[in-house]
Amino acid sequence: MDKGFLHEEQKSFDLSPVTLNDEVVTINAADMDYRTLNSLLKSYSNSVKRIVVYNVHGQRYIGAGLRSNVEINVHGTPGNDLAAFMDGPTIYVHGNAQDGVGNTMNGGKVVIYGRAGDVVGYAMRGGKIFIRDDVGYRAGVHMKGYGDKRPIIVIGGTAQDFLGEYMAGGVLVVLGLTLKNGENHKAKFVGTGMHGGIIYVRGQVAHVGKEVKIMELEEDDMALLRPIIEEFCNFFGFDANEILAGEFKKLVPVSTRPYGKLYV
């Protein structure tokens, strides 16, 4: 991946709605209905290697349901359900994203050069989501593994309440890079209803659900974390060794059936 391509805000774009050049499609989404935009993305996703979309102002469902290996660069703020049900593409967001990123995502990758809203990775069952800054409420809710898939979410900053709620599988990492020195994560009810998967938090956790226990990391945890954090750092320019030198805690479920007695 050409890192110089990751920050194109300074480049001047053609004002035509769609421009095709050297296997790259450029779409000017200014005043474009989300249905039109997504129809264009679908029509080009199997015939080109890269799609650049600029002037994005809240259009939702970008990348939803796409199953090719196309790379999509989004300039602006995509609306809800970016990459929903996606299985294959890589999406770079040069800005913030709204709610529902990776909703029921099955494969592929999302990289966000900013913040994301609530319910990131809802019911996500495969692929990876990397977010440079903070996220809202309920990140990783109902996240699960599926077959041989193991979804991964890395949050560079911090998260709001109910992080990893009802989590059933996958890996959720919160690095706290936006916190000031000595500041703790403030999320409450972390892992409420959790019955699978692992949450790694760099720094101190304020409050966890009763279904979760907090543990120290072991060698296997570091072996799992290192390549994940190195990939995150490759996108955002952080030092992996410096991040890994911080204090991490592992959150795991107490039981695989926390509410079993309620249904028998």
Instruction: Judge whether 78 and 102 are in contact, CB under 8 Å.
Output: no
Phi, psi dihedral angles at 219 (to 5 degrees): -60, -40
Distance CA 75, CA 13 (A): 11
For residue 228, give every residue at least 6 positions away whose Cβ sits within 8 Å of its Cβ, in sequence order, or none.
152, 154, 171, 173
Phi and psi at residue 86, in whole multiples of 5°?
A: -70, 150
Burial class (CB in 10 A: 0-12, 13-18, 19+), 109: buried
- Residue 146's pLDDT is what? 82
Mean pLDDT, the chain, whole residue set: 91
Q: Is the pTM value of this prediction over 0.75?
A: yes
Structure tokens given for 51:
């799609």
Tokens 């989501």 -> residue: 129
Read off the pLDDT of residues 185-228 as tens digits, 9 standing for 90 and up.
999 999 999 999 999 999 999 899 999 999 999 999 999 999 99
List of the chain residues with pLDDT < 70: 1-16, 260-264
Judge contact between 159 and 179, C-beta under 8 A.
no
CB-neighbour burial class of residue 233 (10 A; exposed 0-12, middle 13-18, buried 19+): buried
Residue 181 is predicted with a pLDDT of 86
Listed residue (224, 232, 181) closest to 204, CA to CA: 181
Q: Where are the domains of the chain?
A: 115-257
pLDDT digits (tens, 9 = 90+) for 235-247: 999 999 999 999 9
Contact 151, 105 (CB under 8 A): yes
Q: What is the CATH number of domain 115-257?
A: 2.160.20.60
**164 near 188, Cβ under 8 Å?**
no
